[in-house]
Amino acid sequence: MRFSVRVNNDLPADELFRLATTAQEHGFDQLWVSNDLLLRSAPALVGALAVRTSTLQLGIGVVNPYSVHPAELAMAAATLQELSGGRFLLGVGAGSAEFLSWAGIPRPEPLARTRSAVAALRALLGHRDVDAGDLPDWYKSQSRLRWDVDRPVPVYVGAMGPRMLRMAGEVADGALPLLYPPERFRTAVDAVQAGRTAATHAGGTARPFDLPACFWVSVSGDGTAGRDALAEKLAYYGPSISPVLLADAGLTPEDFLPAAALAQSGRPAARLVDDRMLALGIAGDPAAVVARCRALQERGATHLSFGPPLGPDPVAALALLGREVLPALRAVTDPRPESAGSRHG
């Protein structure tokens, strides 16, 4: 089993540093920092984390190929790989059309643009198995970094829909699917595996692929407090979750509107989030979190990725996960052969 934690780039630097130290001390394998537009710069934050940690893999999840050219993304990724001693991971995705619109940036052809960006980034970052047909028109023979990348940087795709996940399976080293609810993991596996199969049939070589089950979690010794913290997050973001994904859970964006009206005006909203809505993430005391995570293990997950809010107190919640949840999940072994959920080799 592998375990990672995902945090937002809205955190003050000192809180992020405490979270990273806690994650490393409690045996997490990876820490991913988001790079949402007009918040703190994830490359700058990860650069600072690289010199404050020693064993934790550090990822940015995700950057987009619209607001920054892939050549500059490659420069940043290679530099962070050097600073971290080979511990860096790069997540790439089409990004949010709404967020990009805040800066007047259009987002045409998200699937094709992301695919070509992933190919270019992998080629620039030391991978030798890139199909030349996937490279963008701007990529020329002189498109190379002017110093050697000692260890290729794994490139993940931030994806939720089946087409983007299939593309990730074809061309990337991993994917970061945010699952609503977490039990949709098998759907993500099937889409990724279809892409990996297509790539192999086209003459490609199967590469190791990391497919974490990414979900929102909120844990506390007080189960009610843990549930309330997740409920507040769902109240705020619920109306923006894909209607297609919500439909699978028997929900619609409109179901969240009463709670969202309170949350987005800064008022408590947890009482308006019911159990069906809460099931989109994992919340409660450690025993409740272990039970839902074991269900993911039974679906073949070998990498679990815990995302915000983490808990009423994120640092305390991360320590609680490390003390009580991770050991229980590590004790479960899966005798089945490795699949798309296998860890990156």
Judged against a pLDDT cut of 60, whether residue 289 lies above it is answered with yes
**pLDDT per position as a tens digit, 105-160:** 888 898 999 999 999 999 999 999 888 888 998 888 778 877 888 899 999 999 98
In what helix (H) or strand (E) does residue 157 lie, and over which residues does it extend? strand 155-158
- The residues with which 90 forms a beta bridge, in sequence order, are 60, 155
CB atoms within 10 A of CB 110: 18
Question: Any idea where the domains of the chain sit in the sequence?
Answer: 2-210
**pLDDT per position as a tens digit, 206-263:** 789 999 999 999 999 999 999 999 999 999 888 888 888 899 889 999 999 999 999 9
Q: How many angstroms separate the CA atoms of 82 and 217, rounded?
A: 32
* pLDDT value at residue 342: 45
Q: Which two tokens stand for residue 241?
A: 């979750």
Residues 6+ apart with CB under 8 A from 261: none
Q: How many angstroms separate the CA atoms of 306 and 7, rounded?
A: 9
Q: How many angstroms separate the CA atoms of 125 and 25, rounded?
A: 30
**84 vs 38, more confident:** 84
* pLDDT value at residue 203: 67
User: In this structure, are residues 317 and 26 in contact, taking their beta carbons and an 8 Å threshold?
Assistant: no
**What is 2-210's CATH topology?**
TIM Barrel (3.20.20)
Report, in angstroms and rounded to the nearest whole number, the Rg of the chain calculated over CA atoms: 19
Judged against a pLDDT cut of 80, whether residue 312 lies above it is answered with yes
* pLDDT value at residue 204: 67
Q: Say which residue the tokens 């000692």 belong to.
A: 150
DSSP 3-state of 15:
helix
Q: How many angstroms separate the CA atoms of 14 and 23, rounded?
A: 14
Judged against a pLDDT cut of 80, whether residue 333 lies above it is answered with no
**φ and ψ at residue 4, rounded to 5 degrees:** -135, 165
* pLDDT value at residue 172: 96
Amino acid in position 27: G
Average pLDDT over residues 26-46: 94
Judged against a pLDDT cut of 60, whether residue 267 lies above it is answered with yes
Helix, strand counts (H, E) of the chain: 14, 9
CA dihedral 176, 58, 111, 217 (to 10 degrees): 30
Range 1-17 burial, b when 16+ CB lie within 10 A, else e: bbbbbbbbbebeeeebb
**pLDDT per position as a tens digit, 159-187:** 988 999 999 999 999 999 999 999 999 99
Residue 336: pLDDT band by 50, 70, 90 thresholds? very low
Please give the mean pLDDT across all residues of the chain: 90
**pLDDT per position as a tens digit, 60-107:** 999 999 899 999 999 999 999 999 999 999 999 987 777 778 888 888
Q: At what angle do helices 70-83 and 42-50 cross, to 10 degrees?
A: 20
- Respond yes or no on whether the N-terminal peptide bond of residue 309 is cis (omega within 30° of 0): yes
Helix residue spans in the chain (DSSP H):
13-25, 42-50, 70-83, 97-101, 110-124, 162-171, 185-201, 223-237, 243-248, 257-263, 275-278, 286-298, 314-320, 326-330
